[in-house]
Amino acid sequence: MLLKTDGVVIREKGTGESDRFVTLLTRDYGVLHAFARGAKSLKSEKQSGTQLFAYADFTISRGKDAFVVTEARAREVFYKLREDVERLALAQYFCELTGLLAPEEMPAEAYLSLLLNALYLLTSGKRPQPFLKAVLELRLMSISGYMPDLVGCAQCGAYTDERMFFDRREGCLLCADCADHGEPLTSGVLAAMRHICFAEPKKVFSFTLSDAGLHKLANLTEGYMHTHLNHTFKTLQFYKQIKAQ
């Protein structure tokens, strides 16, 4: 059985002298783990399309025990990500998080489009890294079933108040009258969180925020993610080590 789809290589490992074992995030079949025979060879037509971050059109054979990439025609390899260690580390984190939350062997167009947009913007430098990280984290959490309730106060329903608070564990808002805990939100940060969760896919990266607001947003999205996902992200730890140098 042959599967034809497009996708991104979100993890790559060499096996033997010339083979690769890749994890793909595909549009039609979600996360797939597959062997790419001979893909490490410079003469292989699969060489560029099976390297990390490559966006390619794939033909995949489904056998009894494993998937095998039979064709990989690269559309974009995001080469510039490798020219800067910070961008490289952040891109690896984007891939790890997306691979964790995206479904396996099921359609995953929303995940693929989000990751591709994040990689394009990271490569171009058109958006700050904390901005891209925060958007990817909260949007991925939202489309994978962890969307926080940001419509209004969880107790009284107030859409806005002079001060609103975010309950990270319950994933909800509380107004000043109802809150006895939670993290305070500025109106700008709350508007940004609502935009990330509810905006059309093509517009999810289309907003602005002050540097202070972006710092607050980035802390909130990462904290919310860690609260609800029982996972240690080695790529995120590495990215933070690089940033701290």
The tokens describing 56, both together, are 């390619």
The CB density around residue 73, as the number of other CB atoms within 10 Å, is: 14
* Dist CA 149 CA 171 (whole Å): 6
What CATH number has the domain spanning 2-77?
A: 2.40.50.140
* Dist CA 238 CA 243 (whole Å): 9
Q: pLDDT tens digit string along 138-158?
A: 999 999 999 999 999 999 999
Using alpha carbons, select from 236, 182, 240, 191 the residue that is nearest to residue 213.
Answer: 191
pTM for the structure as a whole: 0.95
Q: pLDDT tens digit string along 53-73?
A: 999 999 999 877 889 999 999
Residue 129: predicted pLDDT: 97
Tell me whether domains 2-77 and 82-244 share a fold. no
Considering the domain delimited by 82-244, tell me its CATH architecture. Up-down Bundle (1.20)
Q: Are 222 and 132 contacting, i.e. CB atoms less than 8 angstroms apart? A: no
Domain boundaries, the chain: 2-77, 82-244
